[in-house]
């Protein structure tokens, strides 16, 4: 499969038709547990002497196909799917970190991730320094003796800053810590962070990969490139009390991390994906490439149209010539810059809120990456819990309206926004 192209892998990778009853569509294996041949077989599975299914919290044949497909599409060695993007982020971090450890993260993050890092993880003794990612040297400067992870979003939501992944990955390499990239907003159809030095890629499958707004899911994809034996991660080089003395680095080599995610992360934290959701997500994944092209085309055209409107004070889309991220977009997102467009209107907070309330085709809701167009005014909704200072650092200004441009007819989308503009006084 590995030398086939993206669109082919999106439709076929991981699905061995012959060993799945001749099914052309990936079947849903809706089973909680799997029958062992005998007790010795069970013992071998538990001790990893043999690989096989034990219990659906740890592994499932439908999920396995999705995992293989995502690893192929991102260029990783293996992946683990989780109950949501948030579940994936938590599981990856809790496998790697312990009380006393430190994260260096971009300050331009999804609101939920920002709260996890700034409020919840500190309760467990894990702290984060947020840095402005537009200067990659800020990551190196924030490194402490206890830093164990760099975390960024390749295309920040909702700031839409395109990160210089190559430069940041060099900083991570110098600090000898894994570089984790949340690639949700770009999707693997537009950007593969592993090609630019990421060691671990995260996805919220809920967004573009599912694409229809019908199922939550998340994924952790391991590039298999990080050296866990560098002295900073004794959990990988010393016998694990959590898995009867297994030394992950010795037993599993480059797959040490992703194996630990499955056999300890899923076992202990339980953020496993339902096979029914895996099936739904696979339906979406099959058409990801064509959808991302159309999302990007519609978004760019709408952003250009918004720039020409007198009600509009500013427009941000990384594909616009006026965008300060255009140069990085040309380098990292040459095929398209995804579906999110942000803009402000005259009148600020109140007027922007009104636009979000008045559109008919654009649905007012807290999601992105649906085939249908979506709209939200973050300052009054998703980001209202943050202080004004935190809102600014995550890129949420008082007047910011966020669109996730869907696959509808472009003229209909313009007409919908035009009708909402007409309601402003």
Nearer to ligand PLP, 109 or 252 (CB): 109
Q: What is the CA radius of gyration of the chain?
A: 22
Which of 61, 188, 218, 275 is close enough to bind ligand PLP by CB under 6 A?
218
Nearer to ligand PLP, 84 or 359 (CB): 84
DSSP state of 299: H
Q: How far apart are CA 251 and CA 71, in angstroms?
A: 21
Q: How far apart are CA 128 and CA 150, in angstroms?
A: 10
E strand or H helix at 170: helix 165-175
Binding piece for ligand PLP, criterion CB under 6 A, among 127-135, 138-146, 201-209, 238-246? 201-209
Q: How far apart are CA 73 and CA 51, in angstroms?
A: 23
Binding piece for ligand PLP, criterion CB under 6 A, among 7-15, 199-207, 265-273, 388-396? 199-207
- CA angle, corner 396, sides to 166 and 332, nearest 5? 20
Binding mask 40-79 for ligand PLP (x = CB under 6 A): ----------------------------------------
Q: How far apart are CA 88 and CA 272, in angstroms?
A: 9
Check binding of 110 to ligand PLP (CB under 6 A). yes
Which of 86, 147, 169, 280 is close enough to bind ligand PLP by CB under 6 A?
86
Nearer to ligand PLP, 351 or 404 (CB): 404
Residues 6+ apart with CB under 8 A from 362: 373, 374, 375, 403, 413, 416, 417
One DSSP character per residue, 355-378 reads HHHH-SSSEE-S----SS-EEE-G
Which of 63, 113, 192, 394 is close enough to bind ligand PLP by CB under 6 A?
113
Nearer to ligand PLP, 157 or 351 (CB): 157
CB of 110 to ligand PLP, least distance (A): 4
Nearest residue to the partner ligand PLP, using Cβ: 85
124 is written with which tokens?
């467990």
Binding piece for ligand PLP, criterion CB under 6 A, among 73-81, 177-185, 268-276, 348-356? 177-185
Dihedral (Cα; 255, 260, 261, 263), 10-degree rounding: 120
- CA angle, corner 415, sides to 411 and 420, nearest 5? 150
Binding piece for ligand PLP, criterion CB under 6 A, among 180-188, 222-230, 253-261, 327-335? 180-188
Check binding of 117 to ligand PLP (CB under 6 A). no
CB of 211 to ligand PLP, least distance (A): 13
Check binding of 210 to ligand PLP (CB under 6 A). no
Which of 112, 140, 254, 347 is close enough to bind ligand PLP by CB under 6 A?
112
Write out the binding residues for ligand PLP, residues 355-414 only, by CB under 6 A: 368
The dihedral built from the CA positions of residue 296, 312, 363 and 342, taken in this order, carries a sign that is: positive
Binding piece for ligand PLP, criterion CB under 6 A, among 19-27, 110-118, 168-176, 297-305? 110-118
CB of 12 to ligand PLP, least distance (A): 25
Which of 189, 216, 220, 292 is close enough to bind ligand PLP by CB under 6 A?
216
Judge contact between 368 and 374, C-beta under 8 A. Answer: yes
Per DSSP, the three-state class of 329 is helix
Distance set, CA 399 to CA 107, 236, 305, 315, 367 (Å): 20, 47, 19, 11, 19
- The site that binds ligand PLP (CB under 6 A) totals a number of residues, namely 17
CB of 100 to ligand PLP, least distance (A): 25
Judge contact between 130 and 77, C-beta under 8 A. Answer: no
Residues 6+ apart with CB under 8 A from 354: 420, 423, 424
Which of 56, 154, 204, 371 is close enough to bind ligand PLP by CB under 6 A?
204
Per DSSP, the three-state class of 281 is helix
Binding piece for ligand PLP, criterion CB under 6 A, among 5-13, 82-90, 135-143, 261-269? 82-90
CB of 138 to ligand PLP, least distance (A): 20
CB of 123 to ligand PLP, least distance (A): 19
Which of 59, 157, 277, 338 is close enough to bind ligand PLP by CB under 6 A?
157
Return residues touching ligand PLP (CB under 6 A).
84-86, 110, 112-113, 153, 157, 182, 184-185, 204, 206-207, 216, 218, 368
């Amino acid at each position: 499969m590995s030398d086939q192209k993206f669109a082919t892998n999106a439709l076929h990778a991981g699905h061995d038709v012959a060993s799945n009853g001749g099914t052309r569509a990936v079947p849903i294996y809706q089973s909680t547990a799997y029958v062992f041949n005998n007790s010795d077989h069970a013992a071998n599975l538990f001790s990893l002497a043999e690989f096989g299914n034990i219990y659906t919290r740890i592994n499932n044949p439908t999920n396995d196909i999705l995992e293989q497909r995502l690893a192929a599409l991102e260029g990783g060695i293996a992946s683990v799917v989780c109950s949501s993007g948030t579940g994936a982020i938590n599981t990856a971090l809790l496998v790697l970190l312990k009380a006393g450890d430190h994260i260096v993260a971009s300050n331009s993050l999804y609101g939920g991730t920002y709260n996890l890092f700034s409020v919840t993880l500190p309760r467990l003794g894990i702290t984060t320094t947020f840095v402005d990612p537009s200067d990659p040297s800020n990551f190196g400067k924030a490194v402490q003796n206890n830093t164990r992870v760099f975390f960024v979003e390749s295309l920040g939501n909702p700031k839409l800053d395109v990160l210089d992944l190559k430069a940041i990955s060099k900083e991570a390499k110098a600090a000898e810590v894994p570089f984790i990239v949340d690639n949700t907003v770009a999707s693997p159809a537009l950007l593969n962070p592993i090609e630019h030095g990421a060691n671990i890629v995260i996805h919220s499958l809920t967004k573009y990969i599912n694409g229809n707004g019908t199922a939550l899911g998340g994924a952790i994809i391991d590039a298999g490139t990080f050296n866990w034996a560098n002295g900073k991660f004794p959990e990988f080089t010393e016998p694990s009390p959590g898995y009867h003395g297994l030394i992950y680095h010795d037993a599993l080599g480059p797959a040490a991390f992703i194996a630990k995610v499955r056999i300890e992360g899923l076992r202990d934290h339980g953020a496993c994906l339902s096979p029914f959701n895996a099936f739904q997500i696979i339906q979406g994944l099959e058409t990801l490439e064509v959808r991302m092209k159309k999302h990007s085309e519609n978004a760019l055209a709408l952003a250009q149209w918004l720039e020409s409107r007198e009600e509009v004070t500013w427009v941000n889309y990384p594909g616009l010539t006026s965008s300060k991220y255009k140069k990085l977009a040309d380098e990292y997102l040459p095929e398209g810059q995804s579906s999110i467009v942000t803009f402000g209107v005259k009148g600020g907070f109140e007027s922007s809120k009104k636009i979000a309330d008045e559109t008919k085709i654009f649905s007012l809701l807290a999601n992105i990456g649906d085939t249908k167009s979506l709209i939200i005014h973050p300052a009054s909704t998703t980001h209202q819990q943050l202080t004004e200072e935190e809102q600014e650092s995550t890129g949420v200004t008082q007047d910011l309206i966020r669109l996730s441009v869907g696959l509808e007819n472009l003229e209909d989308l313009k007409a919908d926004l035009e009708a909402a503009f007409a309601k402003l006084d």
